[in-house]
Structure 1
Amino acid sequence: MSQMRRKNYAWVNLIVILCLLMVIPQTQAYAFQSNMNREYVLTSVQTVKSSYDVIVVGTDPEGVIAAVSAARNKLKVLLIDDRPRNILGGLMTLGWLNSLDLNKSPRVSRDFPAHFLNQGLFQEWYNLIGGTSFDVNRAANALNKMVVNEKNIETMLNVKNMEPIMNGNKIEGIRFVSKSGQNQIVHARAIIDATQDADLAAAAGVDYTISREDLGEPDARVAVTLVFRMSGVTDKIWNDLKKRKGANGDDKSIWGYADAREYVSSNPTRVKIRSLNIGRQEDGSLLINTMQIYNIDPLKPASMKEAFDIGNKEAPLIVDFLKKKYKEFSKLEYAGTAPELYVRESRHIKGEYRLTMADLMENRDHWDAIAYGAYEVDVQSMTHQYAGSIVMKPQQYGVPFRSLVPLKVDGLLVVGRSASFDTLPHGSARVIPLGMATAEAAGLAAKLAKDNNMTFRELSKSKEKIAELRKKLTKQGMDLRMVKVDKPLYTKHKDYPGLLTAASIFITVGGYSNTGWKLDEQMNPLRFYYSIQPFYKMFPKQFPKKSVLKIPDLNPHDPITLERAAYIIALSTGIETKPETALQDLLKHSWVSKDTVKGIKDPAKLTNGDSFMIIRDVLKNFAGIEFK
C-alpha cells in the first residue's frame, strides 16, 4: 500500500471516530487500539439516569460479565468504576495478567486444548482471545465488544468518592462524583459488587475477614506481583526461549526457568522472583509474571504505592539479570511495568455459605451450585522465606449461589475472589474464569429476583427458584453438570477425618498429586508440636495458654509415642497433668476418643494419620470445633 493511501485511510478512520462522538450525546469516548479486525469504541456517559435495574461496580472481567449477563436478560444496567481506568478488563488488561489459571473439566484430558468448566460468557470471551496466554489489547477489545453490543448497558468510568445508599440493612443505590466533578445519585433494585476487594460491600457494612484471618493470621499478606514487559521478540527468539532445558511452552505461553530464583534482590525481605510465567503479545513483546513483593496491604493506598515503587525499581534489575544469565533473553529490552498490581487476596465476605476445604477435599456439589471450580489450591508466598505450597488439587467442586449473598446486607451480590470463601479454598476459587462464571449467574439472578419480587437472600433459600436459575443459566450456555468422579483415595483412609482437620488448619499439604499427606509415615515430636500451634492463633478463647512451650527435647529425628503426644496436647488444653497420666486424663474427659486410640497400630511410633486423628478429637471434643 502506498504512503498516500495509508494517509487517506488514516483520515477516514479519524472522520468515522469523530462522527461517532458527535452522535453520542453527553458521553466521553475511549477508543482502545486493538489487534482485532474491528475497533470497538467504549463510551462513558457523563450523566447517569436516576435509576437502573442493576448497578455493577467494577470493570474487571467479572464486572463486565455480570453486566452483559444482566443486559442480555433485558435489565437496564449501569457498569461503573472508581479506579483510574479508561479500558475494561482490570487485572487482565491493566494488571497484564495474561496467562489464565483455567478450570479444566476432569472428564477430558487436563492438557491444552481442554474442555473448560462452566463455559457460558467466559467461553464466548475466550473464543475471541484464545490460547493459553492472550494479547492484552485483544482481550480488552473483546470485552469492549461484548459491552458495546448490549444496548442495555451504560458505562461510567473514573468516578470518585463512591459510597452506598443504605436504607437500614438494604443497599438501594450509590452516590459518587463523576469525572467532570458532578455529584450524582443513582438507585437500583440490585447491586453487584465485582470490585477486586469487595469495596462497596465493605462500605455497606458487610462482615468480612482479611486474608488469612480465619487461620489466625490477620496481619499476614500474600505477595503481590508487578508484571513487566520485554520487547523485541521474534519467532526465533520465542522458540529459543521455549526450547531451553527446564522450560515448557507453546505458541502463546512459556513457563519454567526455575533457576531464575537465583536472582539476588536489591531488597531481599521485600521483593524476590520465582520461576517465570511468560505470555507472548502480538506487538513483539512478552509479559513476565515472576516478581513477588511482600508486606503490602492492598486496602491501603500508601502501601500499594510502596509496592509500585519497589517493583518499578526492581523490574529493570531483573531484566538485566535475565539478559546476562540466559542468552535467549540477551537481545530483548526492558519495556516497562503494568499500570496495575496483581493482588491475589484481600477481603473474604461472610455470606450465606462459606466455601470450605471440605468442599474441595470431597469434590462436593451443592444444590445451589452456579459455577464449578477445579484449579489447585495454590497458597502463594507470604514472606521471602516461604515459597508457598499446593495444598491439594480438587477434581471438581460446586460454588453455591449462597456464597455470593452477604450476611446482613440485602440488595447486594459479591462476585469474584472476594466472595464468601475461606482463605485456603480461595486459593483455588479466586481464579478469574471461575469469577466470571459467578458473575454470569449474578446477572441472571438479578432478573429472577426482580421478576419474582424476591430479595437475593430469599432467592438463595428457595430450592425451586435456584433450580430455575440453574436451568436458565444452562439455557444461555453455561455447563452446570457435575462430572462423576471416583472418590479420592485419601478419603477412604481410616484417618481421613483427621486429615480433613489437618488440611483445614493448614498443617499438611497434599501437593498436585494429593499424596503429600503421607498418612502412614512416621510423625516426630517437633512436627507434632508445630502441628498444634494453630490452636492458639485460630482458637484463642479455647486455647489461651501456651504451657506446651515447657516441653523439652523435641527431637525431629525421634518417633513420637502416644504417651508423649497425649502429654503435649493435654497441656494445650490447660489441664494439670503428667506425662504418664496425660492419656488417661484425655480419655476420662472424652477429649480423645477410645476409637482413635484403638485405631493406633503402634503406640510407640505414631503416624501422621494417628496424630491428625488425635488433633481432630481434641478440637472437636474439647474446643467444639469440627471440620466436616
Structure 2
Amino acid sequence: MSQAVPLHVDAPVRAKVDVAVVGSGPSGLSAAISAARRGARTILIERYGYVGGNLTAGLVGPCMTSYSLDGTTQLIRGVFEELVLRMEARGQAIHPSKVPANSPYCGYITYGHDKVTPFEPEAVKMAGLEMLREAGVEILFHSTVIAPRTDGDRVNGLFITSKSGIEAIDATVVVDCSADADVVAGAGAQTVYGREEDGLAQPMTLFFRVAGVDDAKVDAYVSEAQEIRPFASIVEDARQKGEYTIPRKGIGLYKTMRPGVWRINTTRVLGVSGVDVADLTTAEIEGRKQVHELMEFLRGRVPGFADAMLLDTAATIGVRESRRIVGEYTLTLDDLETGRHFDDVIGTCGYPVDIHSPTDAGGRLEDDPTANVYEMPYRMLVPRDLDGVLVAGRCVSATHEALAAIRVMPPSFAMGQAVGTAAALAVATGVQPRAIDVDTLQDQLLEDHAYLGPERVPQTVG
C-alpha cells in the first residue's frame, strides 16, 4: 500500500459496517466468518477474484500441522476444522488425523510434520465462499486497500480502489489481515521488518505443481535413500557439476490427492522485500525462471519425474516474512520454548520454528526446539499505539524466530477466528478492541469450538 496516497480523500462512502476485514487468506477468511457469526455487519475486501490467499493464489500446501508437536492433540479447530471437514466431505481434503509424519503428503519429513492437511486449492475457493455467504459477510472482490481512514490515533475505515474508482468504507473496527500490516503501517503506527539484528527477512518461494509423476518410484527412492532432506544427495551432485543453481539444499515436494500430481516448494529468492513493488516484481520473474530450471532438473535427475510436466505456477510469489506490528505484547522464542501460559490465550500451536535462511541455502527446523504445545496471547494481535484495528496472520507482534513458527496456515486460522470474534465483541460492547473483556472473548471462542488448552472448558456467557 502506497503511503503517498492522502489519508483524507473526497471519495463516496460505499458501505458503513461494524467490521471491515482486509484480505481473505487463512486469517482474513476466518476473521470475517467469525465476526459475522457473532452478529457484526462485516465486509471482506480481497484483491483477487476468489478467497484463500496462500491457500489458493499461492498454491501453498499442505496446511502444516494443526496438532501438538508429538501429534497427539488437535490444537487448531473452530473455523479451520469446519473448512477441512467441508472439503473432506467432497473428497477434496484429507483430515490431518489421517496423515502421519514421514508420508508423501508431508514431504517425507518427520519433525513438526505429523498431521498435515492435504487439500485441493479449488475446494478452498468454494467452501470458503460458502462459509462467508452463509455467515452473511459482504464480499468485495477485485478491490485493493490504498489507505486507512484515520482520526488521530484511531482507524475508522478504509479507502479502497477498484473498477468502481476510489471509494470509502466506514468501519467501527478494521481487521488487518493484509499479511504485511498495510493498514497499521499506512496509519503511521510502528512496525518492524525481518530479523532484529539486520532487518533481513526469510526468502520468497514460488510454488508450482507438476503432473505425470511416478508416485511409486518416488516412494521407493526416498525409502531406500533415507535422507534428512529428500533428494539432497542428487541436489548436491548437480550443484557440484554446475547443473543446479537454486539456493536450496533439497527438494521440497508434497504429494497431492491426485495421482501423479505433486506440489513443489523449492524455488528460493533471496534479498527481496515483501513491501517493495520492485522487489516483488524481481521475485516473480526470478521465481518463474527457477521453476523452469527445476523442471529440467526434476525430469533429468530425480527418480519418478522423467515424464513430469509443469501443471501450473502460483498466481503470486509466496512471502514468508515482511512487516510486523509492534503490539501490546511481542511473542518470543522463549515463550515457545517454555510453553509459557498467557492469561489472554486465544489459541494454541505446536508447529516448530521453521526459518529459511535469509542469506543462503540453509534453514532451521530442529535447531530451536519448542514446547509440545505453546500459546498465543490476544495482546500480540493488538497494535500498541493504534485504536480501531486488530491484526492476524504473519504480520502480528512476534520476533523473527517466533514468527517462523506461527506464520503457517493453521495458526493463522486460529488468530483470525480470535480477532474476528474480538472485533464483534468490541462493537457489541462499545469499547476499543484493546479494552474488550478477554474472559468473554475466550468463552465465545470456546463456544465456537476453538481450543485454548486442557484447562479451558466452555463457560456460559451471560
What TM-score results when the alignment is normalised by the length of structure 1?
0.62
Per the TM alignment, residue 387 of structure 1 is displaced from its structure 2 partner at its CA by: 3.7
| 1:231 has 2:211 as partner | yes
**Corresponding letter in the other structure for 1:71:** A
**2:45 corresponding residue in structure 1:** 80
Q: Is the 8 A contact 1:260 1:273 kept in 2?
A: no
| 1:261 has 2:235 as partner | yes
**1:22-72 CA distance string (max 9 Å, x none):** xxxxxxxxxxxxxxxxxxxxxxxxx97430010000111111110000111
Per the TM alignment, residue 357 of structure 1 is displaced from its structure 2 partner at its CA by: 1.7
1:267 and 1:305 mapped to 2: Cα distance?
Answer: 23
**2:358 corresponding residue in structure 1:** 382
Per the TM alignment, residue 398 of structure 1 is displaced from its structure 2 partner at its CA by: 1.3
**Corresponding letter in the other structure for 2:79:** L
Per the TM alignment, residue 482 of structure 1 is displaced from its structure 2 partner at its CA by: 4.2
Per the TM alignment, residue 271 of structure 1 is displaced from its structure 2 partner at its CA by: 4.4
| 1:473 has 2:454 as partner | no
1:103 and 1:483 mapped to 2: Cα distance?
Answer: 19
1:120 and 1:424 mapped to 2: Cα distance?
Answer: 26
1:207 and 1:124 mapped to 2: Cα distance?
Answer: 35
1:136 and 1:284 mapped to 2: Cα distance?
Answer: 16
| 1:217 has 2:198 as partner | yes
**2:419 corresponding residue in structure 1:** 442
Per the TM alignment, residue 450 of structure 1 is displaced from its structure 2 partner at its CA by: 1.8
Task: Tell me: CA distance 1:477–1:389, structure 2 relative to 1, closer, same or farther (3 Å).
Answer: closer
**1:92 corresponding residue in structure 2:** 55
1:446 and 1:61 mapped to 2: Cα distance?
Answer: 17
Larger Rg, first or second structure (1 or 2): 1
Q: What secondary structure does 2:266 align onto?
A: strand
- 1:26-425 superposed matches below 5 A: 49-81=14-46, 83=47, 85-105=48-68, 110=71, 115-129=73-87, 130-131=93-94, 132-151=117-136, 153-160=137-144, 162-180=146-164, 182-212=165-195, 214=196, 216-218=197-199, 220-233=200-213, 237-246=214-223, 256-262=230-236, 263-264=238-239, 268=245, 271-272=247-248, 274-282=250-258, 285-384=261-360, 386-390=362-366, 391-425=368-402
Q: Is the 8 A contact 2:336 2:402 kept in 1?
A: yes
Per the TM alignment, residue 246 of structure 1 is displaced from its structure 2 partner at its CA by: 4.5
2:122 and 2:219 mapped to 1: Cα distance?
Answer: 23
2:373 and 2:75 mapped to 1: Cα distance?
Answer: 9
1:362 and 1:352 mapped to 2: Cα distance?
Answer: 20
Per the TM alignment, residue 389 of structure 1 is displaced from its structure 2 partner at its CA by: 4.7
RMSD: 2.4
1:283 and 1:179 mapped to 2: Cα distance?
Answer: 40
Q: What secondary structure does 1:292 align onto?
A: coil
Amino-acid identity (%): 28
Q: Is the 8 A contact 2:352 2:365 kept in 1?
A: no
Task: Tell me: CA distance 1:326–1:283, structure 2 relative to 1, closer, same or farther (3 Å).
Answer: closer
Q: What secondary structure does 2:188 align onto?
A: coil
2:312 and 2:133 mapped to 1: Cα distance?
Answer: 30
1:247 and 1:142 mapped to 2: Cα distance?
Answer: 39
Q: Is the 8 A contact 1:260 1:276 kept in 2?
A: no
Q: Is the 8 A contact 1:396 1:482 kept in 2?
A: no
| 1:429 has 2:406 as partner | yes
Q: What secondary structure does 1:133 align onto?
A: coil
Q: Is the 8 A contact 2:348 2:451 kept in 1?
A: no
Q: Is the 8 A contact 1:225 1:291 kept in 2?
A: yes
**1:362-416 CA distance string (max 9 Å, x none):** 1111000001121111121222254445322321111111111001110000001
**1:530-580 CA distance string (max 9 Å, x none):** xxxxxxxxxxxxxxxxxxxxxxxxxxxxxxxxxxxxxxxxxxxxxxxxxxx
2:422 and 2:303 mapped to 1: Cα distance?
Answer: 53
**Corresponding letter in the other structure for 2:418:** A
1:257 and 1:300 mapped to 2: Cα distance?
Answer: 34
Q: Is the 8 A contact 2:153 2:385 kept in 1?
A: yes
2:141 and 2:63 mapped to 1: Cα distance?
Answer: 25
Q: Is the 8 A contact 2:221 2:303 kept in 1?
A: no
2:123 and 2:224 mapped to 1: Cα distance?
Answer: 26
2:423 and 2:343 mapped to 1: Cα distance?
Answer: 19
**Corresponding letter in the other structure for 1:56:** V
Q: Is the 8 A contact 1:379 1:389 kept in 2?
A: yes
2:220 and 2:244 mapped to 1: Cα distance?
Answer: 32
Instruction: Return 5+ residue gaps in structure 2 as ranges.
Output: 1-11, 88-92, 95-116, 457-462
Task: Tell me: CA distance 1:385–1:291, structure 2 relative to 1, closer, same or farther (3 Å).
Answer: closer
Q: What secondary structure does 2:385 align onto?
A: coil
Per the TM alignment, residue 289 of structure 1 is displaced from its structure 2 partner at its CA by: 0.9
Per the TM alignment, residue 247 of structure 1 is displaced from its structure 2 partner at its CA by: 7.9
Q: What secondary structure does 1:329 align onto?
A: coil
1:240 and 1:483 mapped to 2: Cα distance?
Answer: 47
**Corresponding letter in the other structure for 2:324:** H
Q: Is the 8 A contact 1:222 1:380 kept in 2?
A: yes
**1:566 corresponding residue in structure 2:** none
Point out which structure has higher relative CO (alpha carbons under 8 A, 6+ apart): 2
Task: Tell me: CA distance 1:412–1:266, structure 2 relative to 1, closer, same or farther (3 Å).
Answer: farther
**Corresponding letter in the other structure for 2:83:** W
Task: Tell me: CA distance 1:243–1:448, structure 2 relative to 1, closer, same or farther (3 Å).
Answer: same
Q: What secondary structure does 1:52 align onto?
A: strand
Per the TM alignment, residue 115 of structure 1 is displaced from its structure 2 partner at its CA by: 3.7
Task: Tell me: CA distance 1:319–1:385, structure 2 relative to 1, closer, same or farther (3 Å).
Answer: closer
**Corresponding letter in the other structure for 1:203:** G
**Corresponding letter in the other structure for 1:222:** Q
Task: Tell me: CA distance 1:248–1:366, structure 2 relative to 1, closer, same or farther (3 Å).
Answer: farther
**1:291-345 CA distance string (max 9 Å, x none):** 2111111111111111111121121221111111133111211234211111111
Q: Which moved more, 1:358-367 or 1:126-135?
A: 126-135
Task: Tell me: CA distance 1:105–1:243, structure 2 relative to 1, closer, same or farther (3 Å).
Answer: same
**1:472-514 CA distance string (max 9 Å, x none):** 1101111212479xxxxxxxxxxxxxxxxxxxxxxxxxxxxxx
Task: Tell me: CA distance 1:357–1:299, structure 2 relative to 1, closer, same or farther (3 Å).
Answer: same
Q: Is the 8 A contact 2:68 2:351 kept in 1?
A: no
Q: Is the 8 A contact 2:393 2:407 kept in 1?
A: yes
2:263 and 2:55 mapped to 1: Cα distance?
Answer: 11
